[in-house]
Amino acid sequence: MNASGIIVLPNEIINQIAAGEVVERPSSVVKELVENALDAGADRIEVFTENGGIRSIIVTDNGSGIILKDLPLAVERHATSKLKSDEAGKWDLLNIASMGFRGEALPSIASISRLTLTSRAQNTNETWSISVEGAETSTPKPASGFKHSGTRVEVLDLFYAVPARLKFLKTPRTELQAITDIIKRLAMVNTKIGFLLFHDQKKILELKAQKDDEQGGLNRLSEILGKDFKENALIIDSKREEMHLRGFIGLPTFHRSAATHQYMFVNGRPVKDKLLAGAVRGAYQDLLAKDRHPVLVLFLTLPLSMVDVNAHPAKTEIRFRNPALVRGLIIGALKSALSEAGHKSSPTLSQYALGKGKLESRMPSNKHYFYQGGNRHQKPLSPQQQHMVNGFPIKEEAIFNPNTISAGKPHKVQNMPMEEMDESQDKNKTGQESLNVSESNQTLGDLNADFPLGMARAQMHKNYILSQTHDSIIIVDQHAAHERLVYEKMKQELEAGGIKRQALLIPEIIELDTSEVEHILEFEKQLKESGLVVERFGNRAIAVREIPALLGKPDIKRLVKDIVDDIARFGEAFSLQESLREICATLACHGSVRSGRRLNLDEMNTLLRKMESTPYSGQCNHGRPTYVEFKLSDIEKLFGRR
């Protein structure tokens, strides 16, 4: 080939290149076609698929339809009815209210499949059909089958024209799952539209049209996410400037192993955005283990001009004009909802414990979930850190001494005989004595029944506190609960006193890519606040001069690399905060009452009252619950009393 061999590519190839970006897999086709139906104002959308969408995808809607003269244009590249210029001939790409605007989907899909577009336009009584195969677009032909306006797009043999792409597809089952997922996402924001999905003649999903109000929205969400979610979710409704964030976020104890159950929408558009994902992670940061993820649905609305949707061909990524503002709104709203929920832990847990559901699907695994008395995430403390433990006021009395309680009711239990059911003590008690004790406690419990975590009755197996409220029985894992209390306290102290730094005798030089150096230096100030002092060391390295004293002797290189990765993935530096929190958690765990420490009733009640007044005390630092509540009504059902 000679040096001036530049040619203009044929349309078919141009479209196939565009398809490479827009159509990654069958679900991308479904997304584009359903979005077109939504833009056409349909209120019923039906999707029929075969063999994971590879053999066929047919989407039918009852929207406004396409007039005859527009049919050939619809499959023409860069032709759209969704962008208009104003009187002065100016085009505005920043005020896009429709899902589509690129005029690219139909020609791209047509270039790699056999596509037929059939439509009956509003206020006409004719149906026309057009087909595209390879470079050939047929002339429109009369068709039938439409009783009202609407459109049907048939996509057969996807990727037949680019067989290499077929090799990148997963099994039909996985592709169907992706199709189902995208329809669910679109259905979450389009409540008043009915959706139907068939695969190989089997009905996979049917979502009836709902009212376009809050109740309708909730109904749709519970239909998609299950009743569990509704019971385990907190409501978010928060405004800042012209932005409005609504939605539902799962309690930290209702976590999953993948972030796939996070549904985020910006101005009605489902998005997978790293800024949003980062903000969510930031909000849940110290409530969940690193590998667990909350379930949530968030709808963000903001003026069209504050967001640029023209950032990605598939339009799942967006750009915010003021990312910091969006981030602040999300973190603020989520954190305040989570801390208001305070000691709340997932009600579903007790449902599972009562045998009403399958535990495995929600919990990491029994082995991780049930406390073994120690912290499995815990690293041994270095001598320096042990010293730090002593430096911290992690005194058990601070939490267990009834006199340190400021809020809540005066304790009437103080002179009550202890009702300890540990094996050793039990042997010494006669049945009669035990009965007396519990009777006298009964009246007392009723007086205090309005504490959310009730009144302690007994400690069992040296770690579980049994308490009673007016309508339930609660079991508290004292170790997990105490760990959270100590941890929250340490965090407060960290925040109040600032993070102490420790200078390195010899600065550590870490080699990075030029862009990584620039990225990390953008966060210089924030890192310093968290105790890490870095500076430029030429173009391809940074020097670390000071580190947070709490970290002891960390692997600085790894820490910096983690931070660089975070910045790339989330646009911010989590790792340092996370390492600090991890240390706090480890210290907290060491400073916490181990399971196995006997508590008397006063101490137990003090712990319960502290839990009620401490943020996030419904779960320990790894998202495990600190207590489980059994409603009396459920227990009665269990015994056949109801």
Considering beta carbons, is residue 304 or 475 the nearer one to Mg ion? 304
Which residues touch 340 (CB under 8 Å, ≥6 apart)?
Answer: 234
Contacts of 544 (CB under 8 A, 6+ apart): 504, 507, 508, 509, 510, 532, 533, 534, 556, 560
Closer to Mg ion by Cβ: residue 39 or 477: 39
| Nearest distance, CB of residue 296 and ligand ADP, angstroms | 29
Report what 566 binds from Mg ion, ligand ADP, none; CB cut-off 5-8 Å by kind.
none
Binder of residue 72, out of ligand ADP, Mg ion, none (CB less than 5 to 8 A by kind): none
Give the separation between CA 629 and CA 466, rounded to whole angstroms. Answer: 10
132 binds, among ligand ADP, Mg ion, none (CB under 5 to 8 A by kind): none
Binding partner of 571, given Mg ion, ligand ADP, none, CB within 5-8 angstroms per partner class: none
Residue 66 interacts with, from ligand ADP, Mg ion, none (CB under 5-8 Å by kind): ligand ADP
Q: Which is nearer to ligand ADP, 103 or 347 (CB)?
A: 103
| Half-sphere exposure (Cβ direction) of 605: Cα atoms closer than 13 Å | 29
* Minimum CB distance to ligand ADP, residue 11 (Å): 14
The 28-47 site mask, x for binding Mg ion (CB under 5 A), equals --------x-----------
Continuous segment of H or E residues that includes residue 412 = none
84 vs 167 by CB, closer to ligand ADP: 84
Stretch that binds Mg ion, among 68-76, 98-106, 165-173, 383-391 (CB under 5 A): 98-106
Does 313 contact Mg ion by CB under 5 A?
no
Does residue 309 bind Mg ion (CB under 5 A)?
A: no
- Cβ proximity to Mg ion: between 36 and 210 the closer is 36
Binding partner at 151 among ligand ADP, Mg ion, none, C-beta below 5 to 8 Å by kind: ligand ADP
Q: How near is the Cβ of 223 to ligand ADP at its closest, in Å?
A: 24
| Nearest one of 58, 64, 10 to 41, comparing CA atoms | 64
> For the stretch 509-523, what's the b/e string if a residue is b when 16 or more beta carbons lie within 10 angstroms of its beta carbon?
ebebeeebbebbeeb
Amino acid at 167: K
Binding site for ligand ADP (CB under 6 A): 32, 36-37, 40, 61, 63-66, 74, 80-82, 100-106, 151
Among 53, 63, 65, 100, binds Mg ion (CB under 5 A): 100
Round to whole Å and give the CA distance between 465 and 607.
Answer: 10
Amino acid at position 131, single letter:
S
Q: Which does 101 bind (CB under 5 to 8 A by kind): ligand ADP, Mg ion, none?
A: ligand ADP
For residues 575 and 563, the answer to whether their CB atoms sit within 8 Å is: yes
Structure tokens at 515: 């862009």
φ, ψ (nearest 5 deg) of residue 417: -65, 150
Partner whose binding site includes residue 182, from ligand ADP, Mg ion, none (CB under 5 to 8 Å by kind): none
Q: Which amino acid is at 226?
A: G
Exactly one of 74, 105, 499, 587 binds Mg ion (CB under 5 A); that residue is 105
Taken in order 414, 419, 423, 426, the sign of the CA dihedral is positive
Phi and psi at residue 439, to the nearest 5°: -65, -45
CB of 379 to ligand ADP, least distance (A): 53
Q: Which residues contact 183 (CB under 8 A, 6 or more apart)?
A: 30, 34, 47, 195, 197, 205
Q: Which residues bind Mg ion (CB under 5 A)?
A: 36, 100, 105
